[in-house]
């Protein structure tokens, strides 16, 4: 993964060779390395749901994202993997400050950001979002040059430098020669080219963080890797902190350094990407991996799952995956699992992974102890099954 793409250097001028254009961006003092470019602590988003019973009924809430913490480091790709409805896009929009969180805080370059205080403009210069459908995220009546000029002008590039800045941006995303693309309308470009334009547009303000929400899922299979490799290159050459949101766990394994698996608005497992895909600890991650198409698989596997999608509106206590989980125990229905460390940097929120020493400490009441004793054999079996041989 060190050199995912072997394009020649002239195709990809690094930032230093560019004209100094974006004052707003250069005015920012780069944070010392080691500090996370963007950190989210306990981000939560609940949407109020209008219930059919009218105003007298209790207000209900859809728990889109519940207590998610993550850090995006410079020069690293973090991936969030989950099914539709797992809250991954809401998370990206909260990180981009398009949706205001219900609770939690954001830290930009290590500085807490009292929500709503710092001006959006400055935040947008540091954190940019690339969306899934490039055709829908471009204005069809404007040329590529318009889409690139707007962020440059808004963030302080003088008009005299505009042309060279736009060309440099297009070269950075390997749309070369840039003259060929500047005057095109969105419909004249292919999906892959257009997605590169939207990445170039995001790079115009020279952000430190790039949030990519399913950037390749709309693209043809043969050109997906090109866009993924471009992201990998931006990470290497420009030390961008990248969040890669996807439902395709194989592409996350390819691109990301770390993977977070989300289910029903919660992070259920996080680990370095190889460790997560080679030894998944959470039953949901195991289900996802066994369901993903994998021609290289030796033994056919079939996920034993007949579960309905999770209940997001006012979920009860307990683990949210529990109704679908083949290893569900009584405690899973009562109490939502805390996060356990299963290996270096590998964390999982599942009772199956509770170390023996902690099992009793976590449970305080007499009835819980009794229940646990009854469950002991099941639990040990579950642990054995869940771990790789």
Partner 1 sequence: MSALGSRVTRVAPWARRTEADTVLEIRGLCVDYGLGSGLHAVSNADLVLHRGEVLGLAGESGSGKSTLVYAATRLLRQPGVVTAGEVRLHSRPAGPDGPIEVIDLLAAGERELKGVRWSQISVVLQSALNALNPVITVRAEFDDVMKAHRPEMSRAERLARAVELLEMVGLSSDRLRNHAHELSGGQRQRVMIALALALEPQVVIMDEPTTALDVVTQREILEEVISLRDRLGFAMLFITHDLSLLIELADEIAVMYAGRMVERARADSLFAAPRHPYTYGLLNSFPPMHGERRAMTGIAGSPPDLRAVPGGCPFHPRCPYAIERCATEEPPLVALPGSSRQVACWLHTGGEPVPGELARTDATVASGEAALPTAAAVRRLPVTPGWGSGE
Enumerate the β-bridge partners of residue 45: 65
Nearer to partner 1, 145 or 277 (CB): 277
Residue 321 near residue 264 (C-beta atoms within 8 A): yes
Using CB under 8 A, which residues numbered 234 to 273 contact partner 1? Answer: 247, 249-251, 253-254
Using CB under 8 A, which residues numbered 286 to 305 contact partner 1? Answer: 286-297, 299-305
Distance (Å, rounded) from C-alpha 348 to C-alpha 266? 11
Total Cβ atoms within 10 A of residue 293: 7
Closest CA to 24 of 211, 272, 205: 205
Coil, helix or strand at residue 234: helix
Closest CA to 228 of 198, 262, 272, 196: 196
Total Cβ atoms within 10 A of residue 184: 16
Least distance (Å) between residue 281 CB and partner 1: 9
Using CB under 8 A, which residues numbered 343 to 372 contact partner 1? Answer: none
Among 172, 224, 270, 379, binds partner 1 (CB under 8 A): 224
Distance (Å, rounded) from C-alpha 10 to C-alpha 92? 33
Token pair 């009794």 is found at 370
Least distance (Å) between residue 248 CB and partner 1: 8
Name the phi and psi angles at 266, rounded to 5: -120, 150
Nearer to partner 1, 284 or 340 (CB): 284
Least distance (Å) between residue 206 CB and partner 1: 26
Among 8, 16, 84, 357, binds partner 1 (CB under 8 A): 84
Distance (Å, rounded) from C-alpha 21 to C-alpha 311? 49
Using CB under 8 A, which residues numbered 135 to 194 contact partner 1? Answer: 190, 192-193
Nearer to partner 1, 71 or 272 (CB): 272
Residue 62 within binding range of partner 1, rule CB under 8 A: no
Least distance (Å) between residue 30 CB and partner 1: 29
Residue 387 within binding range of partner 1, rule CB under 8 A: yes
**Which residues of this protein are in contact with partner 1, per CB under 8 A?**
1-6, 83-84, 190, 192-193, 220-226, 229, 247, 249-251, 253-254, 274, 277-278, 280, 283, 286-297, 299-306, 308-309, 326, 385-389
């Amino acid at each position: 993964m060190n050199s995912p793409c072997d394009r020649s250097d002239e195709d990809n001028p690094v930032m230093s060779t560019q004209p100094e254009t974006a004052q707003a961006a250069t005015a920012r003092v780069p944070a010392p390395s080691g500090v996370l470019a963007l950190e989210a602590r306990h981000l939560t988003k609940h949407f109020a749901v209008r219930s059919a019973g009218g105003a007298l009924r209790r207000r209900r809430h859809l728990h889109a994202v519940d207590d998610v913490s993550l850090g995006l480091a410079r020069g690293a790709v973090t991936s969030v993997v989950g099914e539709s409805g797992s809250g991954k896009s809401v998370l990206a929009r909260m990180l981009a400050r398009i949706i205001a969180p219900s609770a939690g805080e954001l830290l930009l370059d290590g500085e807490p950001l009292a929500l709503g205080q710092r001006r959006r403009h400055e935040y947008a210069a540091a954190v940019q979002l690339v969306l899934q459908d490039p055709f829908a995220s471009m204005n069809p009546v404007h040329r590529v040059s318009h889409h690139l000029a707007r962020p440059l002008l808004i963030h302080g590039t003088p008009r005299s430098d505009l042309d060279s800045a736009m060309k440099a941006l297009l070269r950075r995303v390997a749309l070369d020669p840039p003259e060929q693309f500047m005057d095109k309308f969105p419909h004249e470009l292919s999906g892959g080219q257009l997605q590169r334009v939207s990445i170039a547009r995001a790079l115009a303000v020279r952000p430190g963080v790039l949030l990519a929400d399913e950037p390749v899922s709309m693209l043809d299979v043969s050109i997906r890797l090109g866009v993924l490799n471009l992201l990998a290159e931006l990470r290497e050459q420009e030390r961008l902190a990248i969040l890669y949101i996807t439902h395709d766990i194989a592409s996350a394994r390819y691109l990301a350094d770390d993977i977070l698996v989300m289910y029903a608005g919660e992070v259920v497992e996080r680990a370095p990407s190889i460790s997560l895909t080679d030894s998944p600890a959470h039953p949901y991650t195991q289900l996802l991996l066994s369901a993903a198409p994998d021609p290289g698989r030796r033994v056919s596997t079939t996920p034993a799952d007949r579960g309905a999608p999770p209940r997001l509106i006012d979920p009860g206590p307990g683990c949210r995956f529990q109704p679908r989980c083949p290893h569900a125990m009584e405690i899973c229905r009562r109490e939502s699992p805390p996060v356990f460390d299963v290996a270096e940097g590998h964390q999982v929120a599942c009772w199956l992974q509770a170390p023996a020493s902690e099992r009793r400490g976590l449970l305080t009441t007499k009835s819980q102890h009794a229940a646990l004793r009854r469950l002991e054999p099941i639990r040990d079996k579950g642990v054995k099954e869940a771990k790789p041989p």
